[in-house]
Amino acid sequence: MKKILQYLFEHKTLTRDTAKDVLVNIGKGMYNEYEVTAFMTVYLMRSITIEELQGFRDALLELSVKVDLDGYETMDIVGTGGDGKNTFNISTLACFIVAGTGQKVAKHGNYGASSISGASNVMEQLGYRFSTDNAKLKNEIEEANICFLHAPLFHPALKTVGPIRKNLAMRTFFNMLGPMANPANPAFQLVGVYNLEMARIYNYLLQLGGKPFTIIHSLDGYDEISLTNDTKVITNEGERIMTPEQLGKRMVSATDISGGNTVEEAAKIFTTILKGDGTWAQNAVVLANASMALHCTGKFNSYDDAYHAAVNSLESGKANECLRKLISIQVA
């Protein structure tokens, strides 16, 4: 690692193969925490290259525990995190709205590294049991239309660096990797990014994958549709700017979508919204993200059609029923 660090300190970049080798070695625990911290810090001081990101992704996928959901066309809704906004768990809530429409969801998530409550924090608080058991995950997809893939269980490298990321409490290149390394290999993906440079990199990489995708970035820095500002929307077919009025009927304020100060508070906000008791602003933001995900599947003629389906999922109680079923089939 010392040679790699010296090389990087000279303002050089890694090839795809070298980047892969480094992350494989991190996953195998071959470096101490100080070396790994120094390595991660390099990418806090400069932008990651596409080659480096591809190499890191190659390593994650090579080492990952594989998931076979038996041909289901699944969706994942995920943000890179690291936007520093401390919103409630918008993308995870959107997953349940989507599941309530009948679309299968394989949600890939982790504990919050730079926020109070990541997707894994809130799911664990609600009673979900993390597992790599393929039969369990498949049963959840069939019964509740959704399963949850806790990233550290499927990616040894993420488990190794978890404590370091938490102690740093800053976004690292691992924030960028998560959305690209869902072990269920979903057919559709909605990815939220925290800046336009990341949107450009993701656009390039997801285009290579050839699957339907949508990348979203709120122009005031959120890694999701926040309705606090216009949103950049990038798909396989091009890009555009959409207003809060187009996406969710009207603009909301940052305070409207703030998360709790504890995991318990975050979980309470989560269940309140799914039960249909959220504020207008909370509902609007979740529905906008769910609608964009549904539109990504190509199964709706327009965003507005997808929006109507999302509203029905929430207001009919189908989204909450997906959560209830998912938690009810957990085994201690």
Question: For 270-297, what is each residue's pLDDT tens digit?
Answer: 999 999 999 999 999 999 999 999 999 9
d(CA 73, CA 122): 25
pLDDT digit string (tens) for 39-75?
A: 999 998 998 999 999 999 999 888 889 899 878 999 9
Q: Which two tokens stand for residue 296?
A: 């990504």
pLDDT, average across residues 68-85: 85
241 forms bridges with which residues in the sheet?
Answer: 232
CATH 1.20.970.10 domain span(s) along the chain: 2-63
Are 111 and 153 contacting, i.e. CB atoms less than 8 angstroms apart? no
Class in CATH terms, 2-63: mainly alpha
Q: At what angle do helices 318-328 and 263-274 cross, to 10 degrees?
A: 130
CB 122 within 8 A of CB 270: yes
At residue 170, the pLDDT reads: 75
* pLDDT band at residue 81 using 50, 70 and 90 as cut-offs: confident
Q: Which residue has the tokens 């979508």?
A: 257
Q: What is the pLDDT of residue 114?
A: 60
- Asked if 218 contacts 229 with a C-beta cutoff of 8 angstroms, the reply is yes
**pLDDT digit string (tens) for 137-193?**
999 999 999 999 998 899 877 777 878 877 877 778 887 887 888 999 999 999 999
- H-helix or E-strand spanning residue 290: helix 280-296
Q: Give the C-alpha separation, 169 to 118, whole Å.
A: 13
Q: Where in the chain is the domain with CATH 3.40.1030.10?
A: 75-328
pLDDT at residue 77 tops 80: yes
Summarised one tens digit per residue, pLDDT across range 214-267 is 999 999 999 999 999 999 999 999 999 999 999 998 999 999 998 878 999 999
* Cβ neighbours for 150, distance < 8 A, ≥ 6 positions apart: 109, 110, 120, 123, 130
Per-residue b or e along 74-111, where b marks 16 or more CB atoms closer than 10 Å to that residue's CB: bbbbbbbbbbebbbbbbbbbbbbbbbbbebbbbbbbbb
Q: How far apart are CA 152 and CA 29, in angstroms?
A: 14
Q: Please report, for the chain, how many H helices and E strands are present, in that order.
A: 16, 7
CATH of domain 75-328: 3.40.1030.10
Residue 332 has pLDDT above 70, yes or no: no
Least confident span in 50-54, 127-131, 162-166, 306-310:
162-166
**DSSP-derived secondary structure letter, 38:** H
Across 24-43, average pLDDT: 92
**CA-based nearest residue to 187, from 299, 74, 272, 281:** 74
**Tally of CB atoms within 10 A around 128:** 18
